[in-house]
Amino acid sequence: MESSTTIESGFRPTGAAVRRHALAWLAASCCAGLLLQAFQLFPDLSAPFAPFTYGRWYPVHTDTALYGWCALPLAGVLIRWYWPSHDAAGSSGEARLCLAGWSLALGAGAASWLGGGSGSKPFMEWSGWTVPLLPLVMLGIWVGLATWTERSVGRLAWHALASRWTLLAVLLPVPFFFFHAAGPSVYPSVNPDSGGATGTSLFGSSLGLIAVYGAAPILLGLARAPARGSARKLRLVWGAWGTMALAFTLAGHGDVSHHRLSQQILLGLLLAWAPLAWILFRSYVWPADSMRWLAAAFGWWCLLLLSGWLGFLPGLSERIKFTQILVAHAHLAMAACVSSAGWVLLLALDSDHAPGGLSFWTWQSAVAVHIAATAFAGWREIVAPGAAFIGDSWIRIAWFVRLGAGAAMTVAAFTWLLEAFRLRSTATPRSTGSPTPS
Ligand code: HEM
Ligand code: HEM
């Protein structure tokens, strides 16, 4: 496959900086994950670690994965789209400031969770003085992007400027929503309206994710694949998305049971996003080295769609609730699928020095073993309730396997991180002479 990203030489240092920040958080999250696993296997470890015990490391593990490793490549895509190519040097410095602000806010959050300051809501542990940190950084980034758009007046076509301002208008409420959502009465751990996740809410959040990743090739300015009819196919894909978004709006919200056939069908509609995602992402030309990551993300995505839907159905859903099957689902979604998609984005931001085959296969196979061992432990919890608390030997074996797989993932993460820092000192800008995203 032809290497075809639209990376200009001026953007490369910023793309590389996004990679360094994201990988640093992946490495941190993996270390915390290893610690969690060690605490589960050897509870006595808590004594020397006190007060930094399991409950304090948990949000560090999950939130550095989400806000660091998973979110930063997407932030990089946004920065890439707004990038004013006529002022590469100045914009580079501003972009790095944004990235540093993001990492500082997340670092402060992690420090507060380690200090016992967690708000105890999954993925929304920000509490007290840490609540405004990330929203303030988001606002800062928003101002930066608006300034870049202003500076591009006269250099970009009116429709390119209009689409940038439109997205800015959509993004402006995000920091305020985020700040609001951290409040104790909003988004409680157990939703009083429904008792938990509903088909509608899972459908809506998945559609949102699809929109974000589906927009990425456009924001990255990737060239369309030369295949005939790709424009028509893309219209079909986005038409399907629009129809499903309408179905989401019309569907029952709030207290809707998963025993309702309409809920099962609604969530089942997502299965169409196996072929649709294939059509969407194959409609663009990606850097050659990212193709295996794209293929891996697609494979994991198909497994996620099928297992996520089956896990929602009555009979199965009740059995897997609160077991490690859901932990396996979370790792399938984030450590496998989103992580592979993350590398696709990082390589579209800076296609130089892609991870080699060895670390690719180490990560993919270790994640697969991690998920299988976790799902197996979950199955033991189903057939022998309480097994996890009485030292069930099968669960312990699964946890040892997960510790080994986690160690391999951690080695891969550090290899990538060290490589990313090593490149910083040796990097020489290279131009592909490709166009700017419009
Ligand atoms: C990248 C996309 C996704 C991410 C990051 C994600 C993440 C998560 C997380 C973190 C949980 C909570 C796990 C726990 O409570 O221990 C969860 C629950 C769940 N997810 Fe996903 N998921 C994704 C996609 C999907 C899809 C596509 C489906 C369905 C087709 C799905 C179905 C479910 C179900 C049924 C639950 C259990 C909800 C409950 O009963 O509380 N997920 N997901
Ligand atoms: C070194 C590799 C890793 C190890 C050893 C590891 C281990 C663990 C452990 C032991 C838990 C707690 C499970 C429980 O509640 O019983 C956990 C939870 C979790 N991990 Fe990891 N993990 C690793 C990598 C990752 C990565 C790379 C991500 C995301 C990109 C991730 C996302 C999560 C999430 C979202 C949860 C919460 C699951 C839930 O509540 O359902 N982990 N992990």
Q: What is the pLDDT of residues 262-317, one digit of tens each?
A: 999 999 999 999 999 999 999 999 999 999 999 999 999 999 999 999 999 999 99
Mean pLDDT of 408-418: 98
Task: Give me 326's structure tokens.
Answer: 């859901």
Say if ligand 2 is within 6 A of residue 84 CB: no
Tell me: pLDDT of 432 over 70: no
Model pTM score: 0.94
In a domain, residue 280? The reply is: no
User: What pLDDT is attached to residue 90?
Assistant: 82
- Ligand whose nearest atom lies closest to the CA of 374: 2
pLDDT computed for residue 385 by the predictor:
87
The total of structural domains in the chain comes to 1
Q: How many angstroms is it from 308 CA to the middle of ligand 1?
A: 6
pLDDT value at position 4? 40
Least confident residue range of 24-28, 277-281, 420-424:
420-424
The finding on whether 330 has its CB within 6 A of some atom of ligand 2 is: yes
Q: Which residues contact residue 24 at a Cβ distance below 8 angstroms, ignoring those fewer than 6 apart?
A: 68, 103, 417
**383-403 residue pLDDT tens:** 998 888 888 999 999 999 999
Give the ligand with the smallest distance to the CA of 207.
1
Å from CA of 283 to ligand 2 middle: 33
CA distance 53 to 57: 6
What is d(CA 148, CA 94) in angstroms, rounded to the nearest whole number? Answer: 10
**Average pLDDT score over the chain:** 92
> Comparing C-alpha atoms, which of 437, 330, 306, 433 is closest to residue 378?
330
Range list of β-strands (E), 365-423: none
Q: 409: domain CATH number?
A: 1.20.210.10
CA distance 107 to 90: 26
pLDDT at 192: 73
Q: Is residue 429 over pLDDT 50?
A: no
Q: Which residues of 364-380 are buried (b: 16+ CB within 10 A; e: fewer)?
A: bebbebbbebbbbbbbb
- Ligand 2 mean position, distance from CA 227 (Å): 40
> Which residue range is the domain that position 137 belongs to?
9-188+311-426
Angle between helices 261-268 and 291-310 (to 10 degrees): 170
pLDDT category at 228 given cuts 50, 70, 90 is confident
Q: Residue whose CA is closest, atom 8 of ligand 2?
A: 33
In a domain, 220, yes or no: no
Most informative mutation of 62, 190, 340 for ligand 2 (most atoms within 8 A of CB)? 62
Q: How far apart are CA 18 and CA 77, in angstroms?
A: 10
Instruction: Report pLDDT for 352.
Output: 87
Predicted confidence (pLDDT) at residue 425 exceeds the cutoff of 80: no
Residue 210: phi and psi, rounded to 5, are -60, -40
Which ligand does the CA of 200 lie closest to? Answer: 1
Q: Which residues contact 183 (CB under 8 A, 6 or more apart)?
A: none
pLDDT digits (tens, 9 = 90+) for 92-143: 999 999 999 999 999 999 999 999 988 778 888 999 999 999 999 999 999 9
Ligand nearest the Cα of residue 306 is 1
Distance 96 CA to ligand 2 centre (A): 29
Asked if residue 306 is part of any domain, the answer here is no
Q: Assess whether the C-beta atom of 69 lies below 6 angstroms from ligand 2.
A: yes
Rounded to whole angstroms, the Cα distance separating 276 from 216 reads 15
C-alpha to C-alpha distance for 157 and 146, rounded to whole angstroms? 16
Site to probe by mutation for ligand 2, drawn from 57, 327, 329, 370 as the one with most ligand atoms within 8 Å of Cβ, is 327
Phi-psi region of 97 (alpha: psi -120 to 50; beta: other; left: phi over 0): alpha
Query: Is 375 within a domain?
Result: yes
Share of the chain above pLDDT 70, in %: 94
- Whether residue 332 has its Cβ less than 6 Å from ligand 1: no
The response to whether residue 334 sits with its C-beta less than 6 Å from ligand 2 reads yes
Is there a domain that residue 170 lies in?
yes
- Ligand 2 atom showing the smallest separation from residue 123 Cα: 35
**What mean pLDDT do residues 12-28 have?**
96
205 inside domain = no
Q: Does any ligand 2 atom lie closer than 6 A to the CB of residue 33? A: yes
pLDDT of res. 427: 54
